[in-house]
Amino acid sequence: MKPVFDKNEYARRLTKVRKSMAAKGIEVLIEADPANMNYLTGYDGWSFYVPQIVVVPEAGEPVWIGRGVDLGGAKLTCWMSQANIVAYPEVTVQHPVMHPMDFVGQEFARRGWGRKRVGFPVDCYYFTPRASAALKAAMPNARAVDTDLLVNWARLVKSDAEIKLMRQAARVTEAIVDTYYKAMLPGRRQCDAAGDILRTAAAGTAKFGGDYAACMPFIPVGDQTQASHLTWTDQVIKSGQTSYIECSGVRYRYHSPLARSIWIGPKPPRNLLETNAVVLEGMEAALAQAKPGNTCGMMADAWQKVLDRAGVKKESRIGYATGIGYPPDWGEHTASLRAGDSTVLKPNMTFHMILGMWMDGWGFESSETFRIADRGVECLAKVPRGLKVIDGARGKSQSAGRAKAKAKAKAKAKTKPARKAPKRRRA
């Protein structure tokens, strides 16, 4: 194994981060979010259930500090010299009295950082109140500064190398959705379909493999679709139900999420077809605003105009920045596609626009992960939008629009109206 990117890529990232550090008066930055740790050092391991951090000083290499048993993984995935890959004592792991941050305080003192202005994680799942208190107690002379998601914001504009990985993740996403369409058949258990989907997510494509996603695939069926974050059960899939999948292929921790909805049976209900039409129209309207110089709020406003005209309500935001992800989610916690968000869109920003319509007893989802291009937008996955009809009884599937067109053509063929003479056109 070796770091995913070359040192020049990491150097560019550090330059961006240090510019923001200087603006906030931060001399030493502490990062505990595994996505940010990966962004700065390349570190990748399922070790975020214990304390671990990356330290960014004003100059020189970052320093990874983690559990002793994870030292080998850090040496394999981080780009820094071994002197800057440090393990705290194993005895401190989940100890009732000692804490790994006691060692971190000692390491700060050893490196001359004990009296610096130190950026502490605040809004971070992985840096607990106990960890924060222990570290501050271990560095009584340091001056704590709120980082305010500094590294998260630095990740907002991707490099071309990052975009390449997100495009590869999209190829895996396409394979996952294709498996979902084939697996969701009446008579099968939801968990059996989930097994097929998870296998595809791990296997990836013939050219490259996949990885675990920050979220499990959401694949509710029937009345479960009224909820936004249900995974699967062992219930049997039946005809006459709707379902959706929200999933993501992953390539070296980079995600490309996608959601699509299906109707299991021969004829979708009218309310589902109407919702499908409104969502598709709204998505096109929002994507038309996805270009450099516009704002996230402008995309949300365009979507809302379509909903207002259709008399449909949706209170939640319609998207967020995405990229590197670790459990429990693949969002970057920065810019959101919602009214009032003044974040200006720039080339190589990437977002997941998730149009989830969760009604009383049923639901519908459709989404796109997209990149802001120089003159417009690039949707990363190439999966047809709109409701897909899975007619399990006949072993066929087709889009709702195609099914409707076929039914109309069939009805027209049966009636066979008499051919009328063409009307004369006025000059």
pLDDT 10s digits, 169-191 = 999 999 999 999 999 999 999 99
Mean pLDDT of the chain: 92
Q: What is the CATH number of the domain that holds 287?
A: 3.90.230.10
User: Half-sphere exposure (CA, 13 Å, Cβ side) for 280?
Assistant: 16
- Whether residue 1 lies inside any domain: the answer is no
In terms of domains, do 305 and 367 share one? yes
Q: Can you tell me the distance from the alpha carbon of 86 to that of 78, in angstroms, rounded to the nearest whole number?
A: 11
In terms of domains, do 42 and 176 share one? no
In terms of domains, do 253 and 362 share one? yes
Burial (CB < 10 A; 0-12, 13-18, 19+), residue 117, is middle
Per residue in 16-57, pLDDT (tens digit) is 999 999 999 999 999 999 999 999 999 999 999 999 999 999
In terms of domains, do 359 and 302 share one? yes
- Whether residue 383 lies inside any domain: the answer is yes
CA angle 382/388/392 to nearest 5° reads 125
In terms of domains, do 208 and 126 share one? no
How far from each other are the two terminal CA atoms of the chain, in whole angstroms?
A: 75
Could you give the residue ranges of the DSSP H alpha helices within 141-269?
A: 150-154, 160-183, 190-203
In terms of domains, do 111 and 127 share one? yes
Percentage with pLDDT > 70 across the chain:
92
- Whether residue 33 lies inside any domain: the answer is yes
What local confidence, expressed as pLDDT, does residue 1 receive? 82
Domain count, the chain: 2
Mean pLDDT of 395-420: 49
Q: Can you tell me the distance from the alpha carbon of 353 to that of 333, in angstroms, rounded to the nearest whole number?
A: 14
In terms of domains, do 314 and 402 share one? yes
- Whether residue 308 lies inside any domain: the answer is yes
Q: Answer whether residue 423 shows pLDDT above 60.
A: no
In terms of domains, do 178 and 32 share one? no
Mean pLDDT of 109-131: 95
| Residue 131, token pair as written in the block | 């960890």
Question: What's the domain range around 67?
Answer: 7-154
SS3 134: helix
User: pTM to 2 decimals?
Assistant: 0.91
What local confidence, expressed as pLDDT, does residue 2 receive? 82
In terms of domains, do 121 and 189 share one? no
